[in-house]
Amino acid sequence: MSSKTVIAKYSQGGETFEVFVNSELAYEYITGKRTDPMSVLEVEEIFKDANKGERQSSEKIKKVFGTEELPKVVEKILKNGNVPITTEQRNKLLEEKRKQVIAIIARNSIDPRTNAPHPAQRIENAMEQAKITIEPFKSANEQVDAVLKKINMIIPIKFATARIEVTIPADSANRCFGMLKQYGLKSETWLPNGGLSAVVEFPAGLQAEFIDKLNSLTHGSAITKILGV
Architecture field, domain 160-228: 2-Layer Sandwich (3.30)
Q: What is the pTM of this model?
A: 0.68
**SS3 per-residue string spanning the chain:** CCCCEEEEEEEECCEEEEEEEEHHHHHHHHCCCCCCHHHHECCCCCEEECCCCEECCHHHHHHHHCCCCHHHHHHHHHHHCECCCCHHHHHHHHHHHHHHHHHHHHHHEEECCCCEECCHHHHHHHHHHCCCCCCCCCCHHHHHHHHHHHHCCCCCCEECEEEEEEEECHHHHHHHHHHHHHHCEEEEEECCCCCEEEEEEEEHHHHHHHHHHHHHHHCCCCEEEEEEC
70-121 pLDDT, tens per residue?
Answer: 999 999 999 888 888 888 888 888 999 999 999 999 999 999 999 889 999 9
| pLDDT band at residue 53 under the 50/70/90 scheme | very high
Q: Domain residues of the chain, as ranges?
A: 5-80, 87-158, 160-228
pLDDT value, residue 1 = 65
| CATH of region 5-80 | 3.30.1250.10
127-175 pLDDT, tens per residue?
Answer: 999 999 998 878 889 899 999 999 999 999 999 999 999 999 999 999 9
- Whether 212 has a pLDDT exceeding 90, the answer reads yes
| CATH of region 87-158 | 1.10.10.900
- Whether 56 has a pLDDT exceeding 70, the answer reads yes
pLDDT value, residue 78 = 92
